Amino acid sequence: MELRQLEYFTEICKEMHFSRAAENLCTTQSNLSQQIKFLENELGLPLFDRIGKRIALTEAGKILLEQSQSIFEHVDYARRAISDLKRMEGGKLDIGILPGDGDLLFDALLIDFHKTYPKLSISVTETPDVYEQVLDGTRDLGVTTVPVKPDDRISVIPLFHEEFVLAVRSDHPLAKAKAIPFEQLQQLKMVMFGSGHQITKVIQTNCHERGITLDTPIVTSTLSTLLSLVDQGIGACILPRMLLDYRNNENIAAVKLLNPTPSQDICIVYRRDKFMGRAAKLFIQELQSFLQSVMDHSGRPFRADEGF
């Protein structure tokens, strides 16, 4: 059994069509068919059922496809590990983060990280599907909420516990309050992120559990717009306390919410069965160090486990 034959086999499985697979592989259909025949003869079972012009995987084919995917993941691991050894100062890193987290975790961090490691190439993508994209291999790392039941292939490095607070203009009647009940939010005019944003999902869950509805005449996808609306007294907003502490806008006050206090746990996720290059390790260390400095500034404890 040759690696090339497995590549041919998986491409056919992807297309479920011999001629299209042959075209993608830049080979002839006759050569492709011959290689699959060699593979079937070696295994002693057919891999495809031929149904007229259509094909379908047999049970043996399904087993081989599953194992082939695992084999190619290991081959990719070896290639990346060796490449990383050859390029100790370089490397590429693709990171997925939740929408809005770039404003808190990545704007300042990426600038400093690039200055320290200018040869490392980093791509940061905001997506609500961080966990899923790390699991399917689209992203090398993800910064997201702690998964309830992570896949066995996923490693989780806890970062911090994030508490949400009410952000109001400093001359708002609630600005001097140390805390207010969560249910009091329904008496306020709110400005919020859209329904796909993680913060909004947490708040909507809390509202649903208590049977309340918020007045949200303005919805936006950008943090700068939200902060501007709060600053101008257009409405109040719910944001991470750490974000407000880090921004330190004297025109905006943070008020604690009680019963419940909305919160979430943030972590780094990565595939434990994929090679973690130097770029990823360096980035995790820099992220932890950056968060430590933010927590020190706010006077809040920071939690981070090495995990790799």
What is the three-class DSSP state of 10?
A: helix
pLDDT band at 293 (very low <50, low <70, confident <90, very high): confident
Per-residue confidence (pLDDT) for residue 301, from 0 to 100: 52
- Are residues 156 and 7 both part of a single domain? no
- pLDDT value for 307: 44
Which H/E stretch holds residue 241?
A: helix 241-247
136 and 170 inside one domain = no
Split at pLDDT 50, 70, 90, the class of 103 is low
* Pair 186, 141 in one domain: no
* The pLDDT value given to residue 205: 93
What pLDDT score does 158 carry? Answer: 93
The verdict on residue 116 lying in a domain is yes
pLDDT higher than threshold 60 for residue 296: yes
CATH value at residue 294: 3.40.190.10
Work out the average pLDDT over 39-50: 89
Task: For residue 308, give the nearest of 160, 158, 101 by alpha carbon.
Answer: 158
- The DSSP bridge partners found for residue 115 are none
C-alpha–C-alpha distance, residues 134 and 304, integer Å: 20
For helices 3-15 and 59-86, the axis angle rounded to 10 degrees is: 120
pLDDT beyond 80 at 102: no
CATH code, domain carrying 13: 1.10.10.10
- C-beta atoms surrounding 192 within 10 Å: 23
User: What is the total count of domains within the chain?
Assistant: 3
Give a yes or no: residue 294 inside a domain. yes
Segment 213-266, tens digit of pLDDT: 999 889 988 888 999 999 999 999 999 998 888 788 899 999 999 999 999 999
CA-to-CA distance for 283 and 113, rounded, in angstroms? 8
Same domain, 190 and 235: yes
Return the HEC string of 80-131. HHHHHHHCCCCCEEEEEECCCHHHHHHHHHHHHHHHHCCCCEEEEEECCCHH
Q: Residue range 56-79: average pLDDT?
A: 85
pLDDT band at 81 (very low <50, low <70, confident <90, very high): low
The answer on pLDDT for 193 being more than 50 is yes
Distance (Å, rounded) from C-alpha 208 to C-alpha 96?
29
Last residue of a domain, one of 70, 86, 102: 86
Q: Sign of the C-alpha dihedral, residues 294, 300, 302, 303? A: negative
**Chain-wide mean pLDDT for the chain?**
86
pLDDT, position 192: 93
The answer on pLDDT for 302 being more than 70 is no
From residue 171, how far is each of 69, 250, 289 by CA, in Å? Answer: 60, 11, 35
Beta bridge partners of 57: 48
Give the model's pLDDT for residue 298.
58
As a whole-number percent, the residues of the chain with pLDDT over 90 amount to 40
Residue % of the chain over a pLDDT of 70 = 90
Could you tell me if 273 and 238 lie in one domain?
Answer: no
Q: Which pair of tokens denotes residue 126?
A: 């905001």
What is the model's pLDDT at position 306?
Answer: 42
Based on the domain organization, do 278 and 197 belong to the same domain? no
**pLDDT digit string, tens, across residues 134-170:** 999 899 999 999 998 889 999 999 998 889 999 999 9
Residues 6+ apart with CB under 8 A from 92: 120, 121, 122, 123, 279
pLDDT at position 308, please? 46
Judge if the upstream peptide bond of residue 181 is cis by omega within 30 degrees of 0. Answer: no
pLDDT of residue 90: 56
Residue 210 belongs to domain with CATH number: 3.40.190.290
Residue finishing a domain among 86, 115, 132: 86
pLDDT at 11 over 50: yes
Instruction: For residues 14-28, give the mean pLDDT.
Output: 89
Do 207 and 257 belong to one domain?
A: yes
Its pTM stands at 0.65
